[in-house]
Structure 1
Amino acid sequence: MSKVTEVVEELAAPICQELDIELVEIEYVKEGKSWFLRVFIDKELGVDIEDCGLVSERLSEKLDEVDPIPHNYFLEVSSPGAERPLKKQKDFEKAIGKNILVKTYEPINGEKSFEGILLEFDGQQIKLEMKMKTRKETIEIPYEKVAAVRLAVTFS
């Protein structure tokens, strides 16, 4: 985590807690010539434009006070979307029984991308049930080899 995202998390966490909103993720990235500070939020029944606007307004005031970013940037506050990333233990716990996509740094059994139902996560291993053409297969993926995990929306 970069220094900017750490500072922003310290500023955003109490705002989100006060509003009963979950702070999901913070990104600070350069795209083309522009810098973007993206704050992803969620709550039980989903966030709406008013939630995003309220967090954006309050966070913007705090950012102006602390001024952790020395150049111009765009602040975006939004929902993480249907295919939200899974980063924290509680994210994995909420996703048990749901379809997820796991990408690894290095191949496991010749593959670097795995999609299936999350059966279990113990902090060390991700246990997935994957549908093969004629059968189901359970695979365990060491968390240390994981590059990214997110919910995966499937259309049947």
Structure 2
Amino acid sequence: MPGPRWAACRAGTGGGCRAGAGSTRGAPERGVIGKPPAGLFAFWWALGPIFVYSGLICSGPAGAAREAVTVILRERLSALIEPLLGRLGFELVELEYAPAHARALLRLYIDREAGVSLEDCERVSRAVASLLDVEDPIPCAYTLEVSSPGFDRLLRTQAHFGRFVGSRVFVELREARAGRRRYTGKLLTVDDTGIALEVDRERVAVAFAEIGKARLAS
């Protein structure tokens, strides 16, 4: 796989950047029978030989089967990429994988306390591209993008929240509380069990187990 084919500052992220590379793999033909990757045997046999892993990921029809395989692939990609980023001194904030007929998209959002530069994005892009070229987890043509998180970065861990105490955040609960699922307010405190927000001049405590999604808010 070649190195980054383009690199540019990402608009609207306050100096964030992204770099990308395209794979040289050609998209496999739909319906070609082949052996699924390790860990997918149960799913493979449940589907039968009508669909194949590569067909579902790259060109299969949208639906529950394709989404299930895509989720498995995202988990495998995260397991491959996170240790590499850790060795390079970065954190994987978010991984997006979007299957497509012509070319899939793999987008990584990375961060570190010192911030992320364009050169960092390019370096990570080259390292990840080399890793994926060896491990070969994506069975079709794809584009790799590496980007800094931007102003609306996701918050997934206690450490993430801890870094942004005093900032304005958006939190969506897994289940509604008194008919409300979404809260936007100032992040007041973070502890081992959850966070506290100031919303409409009231203190709102939210346990980590209740949080479905959270990100910085403008």
TM bucket normalised to smaller: 0.7 to 0.9
Give the C-alpha shift of residue 13 in structure 1: 2.9
The equivalent residue for 1:108 is 177
Q: Which has the higher contact order (CA 8 A, sep 6+)?
A: 2
Report 1:78-93 matches (<5 A): 78-93=147-162
CA distance in 1, matches of 2:102, 2:176: 34
- Report the secondary structure of 1:75's partner residue: strand
Larger Rg: 2
Amino acid at match of 1:145: E
Whether contact under 8 Å (2:102, 2:141) holds in the other structure is no
- Report the secondary structure of 1:2's partner residue: helix
Give the C-alpha shift of residue 33 in structure 1: 6.1
Q: How many residues align?
A: 149
Q: Are 1:149 and 2:214 counterparts? A: yes
Report 1:125-136 matches (<5 A): 125-130=194-199, 132=200, 136=201
The TM-score, its normalising length taken from structure 2, stands at 0.60
CA distance in 1, matches of 2:205, 2:103: 40
The equivalent residue for 1:60 is 129
- Give the stretch that moved more between structures: 100-109 or 61-70: 100-109
Instruction: Structure 1: give runs of 5+ residues left out of the alignment.
Output: none
Whether contact under 8 Å (1:36, 1:74) holds in the other structure is yes
Question: Percentage identity across aligned positions?
Answer: 37
Whether contact under 8 Å (1:99, 1:117) holds in the other structure is yes
Q: Are 1:47 and 2:116 counterparts? A: yes
Q: For the aligned residues, what is the CA RMSD?
A: 2.3
1:21 to 90, 105, 128: 90
For the structure 1 residues 52 and 124, does the alpha-carbon distance in structure 2 shift closer, same or farther, using more than 3 Å as the test? same
Misfit runs of 4+, over 6 Å: none
For the structure 1 residues 141 and 31, does the alpha-carbon distance in structure 2 shift closer, same or farther, using more than 3 Å as the test? farther
Question: Which protein has the bigger strand share?
Answer: 1
Amino acid at match of 1:151: L
- Report the secondary structure of 2:99's partner residue: strand
Give the C-alpha shift of residue 31 in structure 1: 6.2
CA distance in 2, matches of 1:101, 1:5: 24
- Give the stretch that moved more between structures: 119-128 or 73-82: 119-128
- Residue-by-residue CA offset, 1:65-124 (whole Å, 9 max, x unaligned): 111111222211101111110001211111222111001233223322111111233354
For the structure 1 residues 86 and 32, does the alpha-carbon distance in structure 2 shift closer, same or farther, using more than 3 Å as the test? farther
Whether contact under 8 Å (2:74, 2:95) holds in the other structure is yes
Amino acid at match of 1:54: R
For the structure 1 residues 65 and 32, does the alpha-carbon distance in structure 2 shift closer, same or farther, using more than 3 Å as the test? closer
Q: Are 1:2 and 2:67 counterparts? A: no
2:144 to 72, 75, 98: 75
For the structure 1 residues 107 and 32, does the alpha-carbon distance in structure 2 shift closer, same or farther, using more than 3 Å as the test? farther
CA distance in 2, matches of 1:110, 1:128: 18
